[in-house]
């Protein structure tokens, strides 16, 4: 995929995607016998992206747990463009795309310190109830999250602080 | 994706896919805080699948190295169906699909010991030269490999043994 | 450490150690930029050893969980002798040493397929209660386990089966 | 081990240890089914410590490679004090202890964000030649490094810069 293109098609009137950026440095045990990051470790980089996203928008893993709304990944995709060598710095730009359904559509761009695109990808998460069954309705707290997203006013920080105010 | 469907479309007259099966047992450090395999570790399961495939068809990682024909993964995709808990046994059915181009199209089905489909996925590999540039032509040794595939006669074991005989 | 020597000193009259052997094959993502297993992954090999031990003697991780007697590792030690390359086969000989105290003393020997010693090591586990506090008394089910060990009669398989008979 | 005690005994007249501190945040895939960092992942934390040390004192992995002086870990030891939960912040204090022999003696203290000691440990590295044989003499560039250490003057930054000046 070209990094300009999007993995998700959203309606024209949908709110613009929300983005966050994480930074990392390639660890020694993340590189393979060729001295570059093993392709499987990008899942960990995407995960760092979602963590940074959660930090910024009050949507942390702990929040999902507190709300008892597990959101397992049901689809994972990665396109590799350029290798990342040992000890190099990288950024993960994470982007949540609007979707009316009860799911989370994240896309990712991993760039080297020289701003070259090294990999792009996406994940899809659904929601499950306590028996592991797929939920067709978005959990209440994420409906609230979406209202803030729709209003487009994130200036005062994470939505939860705003909600409480 | 439904496990019946294929990730790759091949021409009707193309030789049937080649398959191999690997077996594994979920390790303790592969499960996450929910007690199920962390989604990123499936890349390791697919890798076990390709290793088993290489064992069966004389197409090992060492062979790629010996032939100086790196075949980096440029696309990785996984669809998750059912979680795999700690210590459970699984199989990885790996399938190489015919493609006239200079690329390797593998698909995978991971099943629990109860034969339920837990995940499916695919990878695409291209070939690079010593400068890391994409090769448009298949390496010589893989052309030979494809001739055997086309002839459909694998009864005597890996193609290399047949080649030498 | 020389592989002949023991990491644990046990009283002369103590029952002989119990042993079990696991087999494995080095995975691609376990080797580092030098093409040999990254030193940190040996913890996973030792873990495979403890799993094989639990299989043989009815002392699985699930049993610890069922009995609500967590046994966290409080000390881990590894001495490296020879590197293990990608795709090589290895064995993990795991040995439980008698100790009168409420702890588990395991030692390990990792050998290449050529039976050369690649690494040796040991772990110490203590028992904790539901608040994470160290228990000074061995859990009841492990006292029973030790009685079988002392009697030295494992011919009929895991101790639990014997207990039930 | 008590965190006050040292794993290495150095002569009284030896130069004081050199120290560096790394910071990290526990990743999701680093926690196990109990929701705490799996004991084997501390090897990665110690590695982060050595990287930070190399950054500070001009002794990076790349430098070892450039100088063709591999320094494999021959002994690894970790004592666990308190668990680290998912998403928690930690520091790794890394300490190089003087040793006249051709070896590197590092000790480590991992602390939670609340400054509690979570784990301590040490590693020993030896030097090998191109055939993998142990070297009894310290490589030339590290002799130079030790001279600066002995003089105790690190105010102007990494030793290499000083050497070149």
Q: How many CB atoms lie within 10 A of CB A150?
A: 11
Residue pair A94/A22 in contact (Cβ under 8 Å)? The answer is: yes
Alpha carbons A87 and B52: distance in angstroms, whole number:
32
Range picked from A3-17, A87-101, B129-143, D149-163 for highest mean pLDDT: A87-101
List pLDDT tens digits, range D8-41: 999 899 999 999 999 999 999 999 999 999 999 9
Is the CB of residue A75 less than 8 Å from the CB of residue A124? yes
pLDDT digits (tens, 9 = 90+) for D75-90: 999 999 999 999 999 9
Q: Find chain B residues with C-beta within 8 A of D26's C-beta.
A: none
How far, in Å, CA of D84 to CA of A14, rounded?
A: 41
The token duo for D8 is 């290495």
Using alpha carbons, select from B115, B116, B92 the residue that is nearest to residue B21.
Answer: B92
Q: Which two tokens stand for residue C155?
A: 């011919």
Tell me which residue in C43, C61, C86 faces B87 most closely, judged by beta carbons: C61
Q: A125 and chain D: CB distance < 8 Å anywhere?
A: no
**A116: chain B residues, CB-CB within 8 Å:** none
Subunit contact D75:C79, Cβ cutoff 8 A: yes
- Residue C83 contacts A, CB cutoff 8 Å: no
Nearest CB to C27; choose among B28, B47, B60: B47
- Is C83 near chain D, with CB under 8 Å? yes
| Distance (Å) from the alpha carbon of D32 to chain B's nearest alpha carbon | 5
What distance in Å separates the CA atoms of residue D94 and residue D9, rounded to the nearest whole number?
16
- Of B29, B34, B41, nearest to D38 by CB-CB distance is B29
> Partners for A (CB, 8 Å, 3+ pairs)?
B, C, D
Using the Cβ of D40 and the Cβ atoms of chain A, whether some distance falls under 8 Å is answered with no
pLDDT mean over A51-75: 93
How far is residue D82's CA from residue D69's CA, in Å, rounded to a whole number?
Answer: 36
The answer to whether A80 contacts B76, with C-beta atoms less than 8 Å apart, is yes
Range of weakest confidence among B110-114, D18-22, D66-70 = D66-70
Partners of D124 in beta bridges: D75, D105
Residues of B in contact with D44 (CB under 8 A): none
Chain B interface, mutation test: which of D28, D29, D41, most B Cβ atoms within 10 Å? D29
Name which of A72-81, B45-54, D9-18, D104-113 the model is least confident about: D9-18
Taking the C-alpha atoms of residue C25 and residue B61, their distance in angstroms, rounded to an integer, is 14
Tens of pLDDT, residues C27-68: 999 999 999 999 999 999 999 999 999 999 989 999 999 999
Measured CA to CA, the distance from residue A44 to residue D38 in angstroms comes to 16
- Provide the pLDDT for residue B2: 46
CB count within 10 Å of CB A42 equals 26
Pair A72, C71: CB distance under 8 Å: no
Residue B4: the pLDDT is 47
**Min distance D73 CA to chain C CA atoms (Å):** 7
Stated as kind and residue range, the H or E segment containing B105 is: strand B103-112
Tokens describing residue B51: 């290793």
Distance CA B27, CA B43 (A): 14
> Which A residues 54-73 touch D at CB under 8 Å?
60-62
A45-61: pLDDT as tens digits: 999 999 999 999 989 99
Please state, in angstroms and rounded to a whole number, the distance separating the CA atoms of residues C87 and C31: 9
Strands (E), chain C: 18-25, 73-80, 89-97, 103-112, 117-126
Inspect the interface and report whether the beta carbons of C72 and D83 lie closer than 8 Å.
yes
Q: For residue D122, what are the β-bridge partners?
A: D77, D107
Q: Quick one: pLDDT at residue A5?
A: 62
Residue B59, CA distances (Å) to B21, B54, C134, D31 in order: 15, 4, 52, 36
- Pull the structure tokens for residue A132: 């592991």
Task: Quote the DSSP letter at residue A11.
Answer: -
pLDDT tens, residue by residue, A16-38: 999 999 999 999 999 999 999 99
For B45, the closest chain C residue by CA position comes to C27
Q: Residue C29 is nearest to which of A28, A40, A86, comparing CB atoms?
A: A40
Does the CA dihedral C55-C60-C61-C66 come out positive or negative?
positive
D28, A62: Cβ pair inside 8 Å?
no
What does the alpha-carbon distance between residue B109 and residue B94 come to, in Å, rounded to a whole number?
7
Query: In this structure, how many other beta carbons lie within 10 angstroms of the beta carbon of residue A23?
Result: 11
Structure ipTM: 0.93
Contact A127, A102 (CB under 8 A): yes
Residue with tokens 């609500």: C68
Taking contacts as CB-CB distances below 8 angstroms, the residues of chain C near D41 are 40
pLDDT level of residue D4 (50, 70, 90 thresholds): very low
Which chain C residues have a beta carbon less than 8 Å from that of D70?
34
Residue A66: pLDDT band (50, 70, 90) is: very high
Name all chains with 3 or more CB-CB pairs below 8 Å to chain C. Answer: A, B, D
Nearest to C87 among B28, B29, B62 (CB): B62
Cβ neighbours, 10 Å, residue C125: 20
Distance from CA of A92 to the nearest CA of B (A): 16
């Amino acid at each position: 995929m070209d990094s300009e293109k999007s993995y998700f098609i959203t309606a024209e009137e949908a709110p613009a995607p929300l983005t966050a950026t994480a930074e990392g440095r390639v660890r020694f045990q993340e590189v393979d016998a060729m001295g570059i990051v093993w392709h499987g470790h990008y899942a960990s980089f995407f995960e760092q992206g979602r963590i940074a996203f959660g930090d910024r928008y009050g949507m942390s893993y702990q929040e999902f747990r507190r709300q008892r709304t597990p959101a397992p990944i049901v689809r994972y995709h990665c396109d590799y463009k350029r290798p990342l060598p040992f000890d190099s710095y990288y950024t993960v730009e994470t982007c949540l795309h609007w979707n009316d359904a009860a799911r989370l559509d994240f896309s990712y761009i991993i760039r080297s310190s020289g701003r070259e695109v090294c990999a792009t990808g996406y994940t899809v998460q659904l929601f499950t109830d306590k028996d592991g069954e797929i939920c067709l309705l978005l959990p209440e707290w994420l409906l609230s999250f979406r209202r803030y997203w729709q209003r487009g006013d994130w200036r005062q920080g994470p939505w939860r602080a705003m909600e409480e105010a």
